[in-house]
Amino acid sequence: MTFEALLWVVRERNPRLLWLGRSSTYLADQLHEIALNWIAWELTRSSTLTALATFATRAPLWALGSFAGVYADRLPRQLTIIATNGASALIAFAIVLLFAVGTLPYPVLVLMAFLLGVTRSLEAPALNAHIPSLVPREAITRINAVADNTKRVARLSASFLIAALKHVLPVPGLYAIAGIAYLAMSSCAAMFRVRHVNARERSGHFLSEFVDGWRALGANGVVFLTVVCFALYAPAYAAAYWVGLPRLAGDTLGGGIGAYSLAVGAIAAGGLAGNFGVTVVDPRNHALATISGILTVGLGFALMAAAPRVAMVVVVAFFLAFGLPLMDIGVPSLIHESVAPLHVGRVYSLWRQFAEAGIAVGLLVGGPLVDGMGPRAALALFGGYAVVVALLSAVLVGRQGHRRSEASVREARP
């Protein structure tokens, strides 16, 4: 975030409220992510069951993604944001209460994780659809850039917060902080001053809009291949990040939740540094940038498998995270530049749905692999798989781009 952007956020009411609210929800989501993983491990001592708990909280993101995106345009968006974050807070407080009375077995934890995933899957599209009502059109890119940096800062803050509180607060107590943070987003949303914008006309035909999105995605070969590449990479990232990394840092190397949270913080810090680098360099070939990011992350997890100490895990985590902004900025930018504005929202939703489906596969497969192979061998496998995906994708995307260039030359000939 540049200094000018920071001043703009602080001065303007809606950007300020949006910044504070998103900082709160990103912090809460990160606390939930780390606490859930660790509680499930402590209850089961099984990577498979731990991954299943994470799967439960992320399943609604892909299972309900299309429906949530369509109905975000049909329901009152501001009320949806307030209600979903309020419901998230109630679920977080319920987890704390159940732990306090000694009734938080693994099945109940999974159920609570699933319900929290439902509320988060409904909140995200409503908030993103509401942004044009909160800031002028020329400021939308700026506020999205602020949100991307806010996400990484919140992830870093969560890791430091956990490291500071791990000796004075039981891990389920982190959900009390998460609940307060969700309520903060509800409060900020209630204070938004909504601008009038021309709403998109509702066709009333969910299926036809969904099919149009598929057609728009398939019409551009480079976009389609890049989205497929990302979807194929997603299982490796999910298995490495949510299953292999906590098992290696927290259990194999004996660092506990503190070591895991520090590794997560290192990834956040590396992502911030990478975000700055992408902003300065401004790569124009977004497909190649995405593939380079996948290659960087894959090599990082493969190297992490050999880390002898927690400190080395943290260092490798920092540098592999340089690849994340290449993807997080590359894919949306490619979609914005290559897809007709009418279809951008649906193509974007399809990309996220493919990615979440890949994450689900990684969580379901990663747990048994880590249990069977151990975290080191499994991380080497996950990283190596990502490297192979990146190299094959580079060849396919390069050929597709070459065909498009030849076609453009033929069309330009008299």
Nearest CA to 190 among 90, 115, 88, 84?
Answer: 84
Rounded to whole angstroms, how far apart are CA atoms 291 and 355?
A: 15
What's residue 412's pLDDT?
46
Let me know the angle formed at the C-alpha of 313 by 158 and 325, rounded to the nearest 5 degrees.
60
- Residue pair 291/390 in contact (Cβ under 8 Å)? The answer is yes
Nearest CA to 238 among 399, 36, 51, 76?
Answer: 51
Map residue 393 onto helix, strand or coil.
helix
Rounded to whole angstroms, how far apart are CA atoms 172 and 93?
A: 10
Centroid of chain to Cα 410 = 41
pLDDT along the chain (414 residues), means of 10: 64 86 92 91 91 91 70 75 96 95 93 94 77 71 69 81 82 93 95 67 60 80 91 96 92 86 89 78 82 96 95 95 87 78 69 87 93 95 97 88 54 50
Rounded to whole angstroms, how far apart are CA atoms 390 and 168?
A: 43
Rounded to whole angstroms, how far apart are CA atoms 109 and 86?
A: 19
- Residue pair 357/238 in contact (Cβ under 8 Å)? The answer is no
CA distance to 31, 86, 162, 203, 344, per residue, from 116 (Å)? 13, 11, 20, 31, 28
Rounded to whole angstroms, how far apart are CA atoms 350 and 344?
A: 10
To the nearest 5 percent, what fractions of the chain are helix, strand and coil? 85, 0, 15
Answer whether 1-194 and 203-414 agree in fold. yes
Centroid of chain to Cα 106 = 25
Long-range contacts of 254-261 (CB under 8 A, 24+ apart): 255/310, 256/166, 257/34, 257/38, 257/162, 257/166, 257/171, 258/162, 258/163, 258/166, 259/310, 259/313, 260/34, 260/37, 260/38, 261/34, 261/158, 261/159, 261/160, 261/162, 261/163, 261/166
Provide the 10 A C-beta neighbour count for residue 377: 14
Q: Where are the domains of the chain?
A: 1-194, 203-414
| Structure-token pair, residue 71 | 């109905």
What's residue 344's pLDDT?
66
User: For the chain, how big is the Rg over CA atoms in Å?
Assistant: 21
CATH fold label, 203-414? Growth Hormone; Chain: A; (1.20.1250)
Rounded to whole angstroms, how far apart are CA atoms 231 and 355?
A: 5
Centroid of chain to Cα 333 = 16
* Contacting residues for 177 by C-beta, under 8 A, at least 6 apart: 27, 28, 31, 161
Nearest CA to 49 among 370, 388, 379, 403?
Answer: 370
- CATH homologous superfamily for 1-194? MFS general substrate transporter like domains (1.20.1250.20)
- Residue pair 278/329 in contact (Cβ under 8 Å)? The answer is yes
**At residue 177, what is the residue type?**
I
What's residue 175's pLDDT?
95
Query: What do you get for the CA distance between the two ends of the chain, in Å?
Result: 48
| Structure-token pair, residue 373 | 């192979």
Rounded to whole angstroms, how far apart are CA atoms 330 and 210?
A: 24
Let me know the angle formed at the C-alpha of 22 by 337 and 358, rounded to the nearest 5 degrees.
55
